[in-house]
Structure 1
Amino acid sequence: MGYRACFDIGGTFIKFAVVSEAGELFLQGKTETPTKDVTMYIPQILSEKVAYFREYYPIENIGISSCGIVDHNKGVILFSANIEGYSGLPLAHEISEFTGLSVSVENDVRSACLGEMWLGAAQGKENVVLLTLGTGVGGAIIQNGRLVSGAGNLAGELGHMSIIHNGENCPCGGKGCFERYASTSSLIRYYQTIVGKEESIDGKEIMSKIKQGETAAIKAYQEFIDYLSTGLVNIAHLFNPECIIIGGGITEQGESFINEVNSKYKEKVMPLYRESTKIVLAELHNDAALYGAFVHAGNFVKK
């Protein structure tokens, strides 16, 4: 049985595990992402963890999921807004030098999409889109079994497709971006606008207020679902995937959430797409990117 050392590097934590070809996770855990001298400490942390893994399992190679924009061909972090000083790090080369093993590096949302294809909501499917809803909206696209990276490794920035002409300003420099209307952050903003004050609240608290029947929370949620469904329709019409997977904390609402999304989506989408493109919930949650790291480390998806 093959074993790979897999990592998921985020702005707050680095998650890790030995992943088997049967999809089992061993020696799983997490450590805080360093905030200083990251070009030295991140390779060091990962390499030391690989050495530890090798005491217990015959590690074949290494898969790394990372926040930011990644050149997966070279294993270089092109840009990261979440980890200061991380941009430009030749991560694959550094880890390979330390360990002597081959190293694959891919963006975290793309990794999560690969994980869902292997063991999650998209098993057996060849055409898949993943959306992650949080502070922003992340995206990944797989067509005919191939991860779509684009000419500059920039494909999949679905959160920055414009859905409102001359809409709200986005930190990316654009206007009317999807994530300004369909992220968890936007749901919070809708609620604050309706109640007339910027009280400190998170998405889970708003969902709790909805269950309690609070009018303001319900109205904010309906606006959020309306914009989210508009983006989903655009994605369906553009790519016609077998499924669009939605992940992120807000999806913990489960069936009630996905049923409302599907209802609004089917109102708007062209009739032929209602059956060919399904909207489904992510299944692997916080482990998706670790599973995806195993996949791209083994070239599971054709390149």
Structure 2
Amino acid sequence: MKYSACFDIGGTYIKFGVISSSGGIFTTGKVATPKENAAIQIPEIIAHQVALMSQKYEIQNIGISACGLIDHERGEVLFSANIKDYSGLQLARIVKEKTNLHVSVENDVRCACLGEVWLGAAQGKQDVVLLTLGTGIGGAVVINGRLMRGAGYLAGELGHMSIVHDGESCPCGFKGCLERYASTGALVRHYTRISGNDSANGNDSANGKEIMDLVKKQDPHARAAYDNFLDYLSTGLVNITHLYNPEVIIIGGGITAQGKSLLEDIQEKYQHKVMDVYKVSTEITLARLRNHAALYGAYTVVNQVEEMVR
């Protein structure tokens, strides 16, 4: 059986696992992402874990899902705002030198999307969009079974779709981006503004889960913030639908732990806004693979499963 060592490099943790050609996942774990000297330490961490994996499994290659803007062809981190000393790292080349194995690197949200296409919520689908809701919004687009990367490997930054003219300033340098209104971070900010309170429970700073708990209790401030969030998110989903006409738009991120109730609320807003002709062809659903999605996607990239599922 073919085994790959797969890694998901995030701003807080580096997750890893051994994945088989049948989709089995073994020896999963995580280590803290280095706060300093990331360009040196991250390749060393990967090489060390691969050496440990190789004691039990015949590792044939290495798939890496990485936060930031990634040049997949060169295996290079073009830019990362979340990890110090990480931008410009020729990750694939260095890891290959340390392990003598073929290495592929791709953006984490794109990997998560490919994972959902292979084994998750979009299995068997050819036209798929993934939105991940967190502090910001990540995006990935699959058209005709192929991941859309773009001329500069920058395609799919759907969180920076402008939806409010001259709106809130975004860390990207522009104003009115979708992620300033429809991310979990936006939900928290709006709740804080209208409640005049930076705490949802009287002790800690507000977070998405606490606000959703208050929504269920019909707290007026939480309800207003949530309705605002749904309005903007559904507008973004409609724009994506009209632009790409995907078979499915998958929504991921921690807030999706709310499950069916969240999905129904999103769908209700969406159905009132989208053009009728699109309602039959595009489905809105929640991600299924959660923490393992990007690892599975890293496997598809290094083994070219994205070609096999077409």
TM (norm. structure 2) is: 0.96
Q: 1:291 aligns with which of 293, 296, 302?
A: 296
**How far 1:302 moved relative to its partner?**
3.4
What is the aligned partner in structure 1 of residue 244 from structure 2? Answer: 239
> Take 1:225 and 1:160, find their aligned partners in 2: how far apart are those partners?
17
> Take 2:51 and 2:255, find their aligned partners in 1: how far apart are those partners?
37
1:207 aligns with 2:212: yes
**How far 1:197 moved relative to its partner?**
3.1
Whichever residue aligns with residue 77 of structure 1, its letter is V
Encode CA deviations 1:193-217: one digit per residue, 9 max, x unaligned. Answer: 2212333200000011111121111
Whichever residue aligns with residue 16 of structure 2, its letter is F
SS at match of 1:301: helix
What is the aligned partner in structure 2 of residue 49 from structure 1? Answer: 49
Whichever residue aligns with residue 258 of structure 2, its letter is Q
Encode CA deviations 1:26-81: one digit per residue, 9 max, x unaligned. Answer: 11100011111111111111011111111101111110000000000000000000
Sequence identity (%): 59
What is the aligned partner in structure 1 of residue 262 from structure 2? Answer: 257
Whichever residue aligns with residue 229 of structure 1, its letter is S
> Take 1:12 and 1:168, find their aligned partners in 2: how far apart are those partners?
27
1:220 aligns with 2:225: yes
SS at match of 2:14: strand
Tell me if structure 1 keeps the 8 A contact 2:37–2:84: no
**How far 1:159 moved relative to its partner?**
0.4
What is the aligned partner in structure 2 of residue 3 from structure 1? Answer: 3
Whichever residue aligns with residue 125 of structure 1, its letter is K
Q: 2:283 aligns with which of 275, 278, 282?
A: 278
**How far 1:83 moved relative to its partner?**
0.4
Q: Pairwise mapping of residues 19-98 of structure 1 onto structure 2 (< 5 A)? A: 19-98=19-98
**How far 1:244 moved relative to its partner?**
0.4
> Take 2:293 and 2:197, find their aligned partners in 1: how far apart are those partners?
36
- Alignment length, in residue pairs? 303
Tell me if structure 1 keeps the 8 A contact 2:161–2:177: yes
Q: Pairwise mapping of residues 121-160 of structure 1 onto structure 2 (< 5 A)? A: 121-160=121-160
Alpha-carbon RMSD: 1.0
> Take 2:178 and 2:18, find their aligned partners in 1: how far apart are those partners?
36
Tell me if structure 1 keeps the 8 A contact 2:116–2:122: yes
> Take 1:282 and 1:288, find their aligned partners in 2: how far apart are those partners?
9
> Take 1:211 and 1:178, find their aligned partners in 2: how far apart are those partners?
25
SS at match of 1:77: strand
| Runs of 4+ residues deviating >2 angstroms | 196-199
> Take 1:43 and 1:162, find their aligned partners in 2: how far apart are those partners?
36
What is the aligned partner in structure 2 of residue 301 from structure 1? Answer: 306
> Take 1:155 and 1:112, find their aligned partners in 2: how far apart are those partners?
15
Encode CA deviations 1:84-107: one digit per residue, 9 max, x unaligned. Answer: 100111100011111111000000
> Take 1:61 and 1:144, find their aligned partners in 2: how far apart are those partners?
26
Gaps of 5+ in 2: 200-204
> Take 1:98 and 1:190, find their aligned partners in 2: how far apart are those partners?
47
What is the aligned partner in structure 2 of residue 18 from structure 1? Answer: 18
